[in-house]
A = this chain, B = another copy of it.
Amino acid sequence: MDSQRADQLFESPPAESVSPAAGDTFEARRDHILQAATHVFAQYGYEKASMRTIAKAADVSLAGLYHYFERKEQLLFVMQFRVFSSLLSNLREWLVGVESPRDRLCTMIRSHVTYFAEHMAELKVCSHELDSLRGETYDQAREIRLAYYGLTREIIASVIELDPPDYPLDLHVATMSLFGTLNWLYRWWNPSHPTPPKVVASQITNQFLAGICGHTA
């Protein structure tokens, strides 16, 4: 992956490519393999998931797998990069036109929970395998994670500034408290859970808002 630029490698499938038919097929196969790998990672964990299992899940041969991804690590990296990018760009889109700090926080949580409910395997792997990458791949994934964290932190900060609580509140602790709740979702929530995602999102929002302000939304 060192031979290609990040913006060529990790974006969602491009609208066009140099060699149209072949290019489309290549990207589609690549996405299909990545999707299969994601579910294998989610089921077995990154270390225990073998390239042979991923190949079977993607319905390609072991050697064929290496035609699309140079290394096992690249599978995890590209997936994490795409997911964090999507989370961040989705959030930025949803935030357009939302000005009240409380509404922005509400939007952030709703955006995250919605994305989670629609991409459970991806977010499980992203929450659980944060330290499975090494070196440059870790740094790049970390960078975009921090951008997501930073944006959330700013939203929380403006909520607090507008309506400070009557007890000492550290901004970092508050932010990590929210991410803890959100990133723990994959441990207990699934599509067959009685509580629908919208209700979960709204309760987390209510709890967190009341928690950092002292009253509900």
In the complex, the answer to whether B211 meets A208 with C-beta atoms within 8 Å is yes
Q: Chain copies in the assembly? A: 2
**Pair A210/B214 contact, Cβ less than 8 Å:** yes
By the criterion CB–CB under 8 Å, are A215 and B212 in contact? no
Q: How far is it, in angstroms, between the C-alpha of A211 and the C-alpha of B217 when the chains are bound?
A: 11
Residue numbers in B under 8 Å from A136 (CB-CB): none
Q: Which of A102-138 contact B (CB under 8 A)?
A: 128, 130-132
The verdict on A177 contacting chain B, using a C-beta distance below 8 Å, is: yes
> Contact between B170 and A179 (Cβ–Cβ < 8 Å)?
no
How far apart are the CA atoms of A172 and B45 in the complex, in Å?
26
Stretch at the interface among A21-29, A66-74, A87-95, A181-189: A181-189
> Complex: how many Å from CA A188 to CA B171?
13
Q: How far is the CA of A211 from the CA of B174 in the complex (A)?
A: 12
Contacts of A208 in B (CB 8 A): 207, 211
A120 to chain B, nearest CB (A): 15
Decide if A206 is an interface residue (CB 8 Å cutoff): yes
Minimal beta-carbon separation of A6 from chain B (angstroms): 25
Q: Does A18 contact B (CB under 8 A)?
A: no
Residues B188 and A200 in contact, CB atoms below 8 Å apart? no
Q: Is the CB of A195 within 8 A of B170?
A: yes
Q: Smallest CB–CB gap between A112 and chain B, Å? A: 13
| A166 CB-CB contact with B under 8 Å | yes
Q: Which 3 A-B pairs have the closest CB atoms?
A: A180-B184, A211-B211, A47-B47
